[in-house]
Chain A
Amino acid sequence: GQNIDQPTEMTATEGAIVQINCTYQTSGFNGLFWYQQHAGEAPTFLSYNVLDGLEEKGRFSSFLSRSKGYSYLLLKELQMKDSASYLCAVRSNTNAGKSTFGDGTTLTVKP
């Protein structure tokens, strides 16, 4: 079976750094996605990790440890517009469309 765990909610201050963790147990692994979803809107792609390590993309970085079934999304220099739900999703086979999503972490950025 597939199991993906993320914290339900997090709160952080504008300008700070926040780390959103994701642990997974899946029958197969081909990569891990992070998506951002603002309330009432579609998920938008943030990152895709296949190999272990940290990948940096501007203010956002994503880390993967395949042996530990663990990933995190790091958001730096938080802005109010970063308030959103952050979804972790695992691609368990070569078919990207059949990704398994966690329930998301709702991040609230406060002034």
Chain B
Amino acid sequence: DAGVTQSPTHLIKTRGQQVTLRCSPKSGHDTVSWYQQALGQGPQFIFQYYEEEERQRGNFPDRFSGHQFPNYSSELNVNALLLGDSALYLCASSPGTTSYEQYFGPGTRLTVT
């Protein structure tokens, strides 16, 4: 049973560019949440997708957007990259929006130069 998978593992982009990160949830999970984790800090909630819609959103600008597909996989898009967007981006899946179970993927390390 595959856990949460994310791609790519690492990514280097230039300021102003756009990036797309991908996540496949754990089998049986239909809810995907995205977090940004800067070095030395805890993860910060970006948004959550359920039934192909954004259900909750944290304090992130509109440059951060996402999508969920019918197979429950999800994408995180970041436009107009800033140096401060350099971080580990974590995807977490859960079986529904109210379950306390949450499994994290290995993350995508994004470096903006």
Q: A residues touching B (Cβ–Cβ < 8 Å)?
A: 4, 31, 33, 41-45, 48, 87, 89, 91, 94-104
Report yes or no: A96 in contact with B104, Cβ–Cβ below 8 A.
no
Given contacts A42-B90, A87-B43, 4 further A-B contacts (CB under 8 A): A43-B90, A95-B48, A98-B33, A100-B45
**Which secondary structure dominates chain B's binding surface?**
loop
Chain B 99-113 interface 0/1 with A at a Cβ cutoff of 8 Å (1 = within): 111111111000000
Q: Who on chain A is nearest to B56 by CB?
A: A98
Known A95-B48, A97-B102; contact A42-B94, beta-carbon cutoff 8 A:
no
Report yes or no: A42 in contact with B55, Cβ–Cβ below 8 A.
no
Q: List chain B residues, Cβ under 8 A from A43.
A: 43, 90, 104
Q: Who on chain B is nearest to A48 by CB?
A: B100
In the assembled complex, B16 has its CB within 8 A of some CB on chain A? no
A-B contact pairs, 6 of them (CB 8 A): A42-B4, A42-B106, A43-B104, A45-B102, A97-B102, A101-B44
Contact of A97 among B4, B31, B41 (CB under 8 A): B31
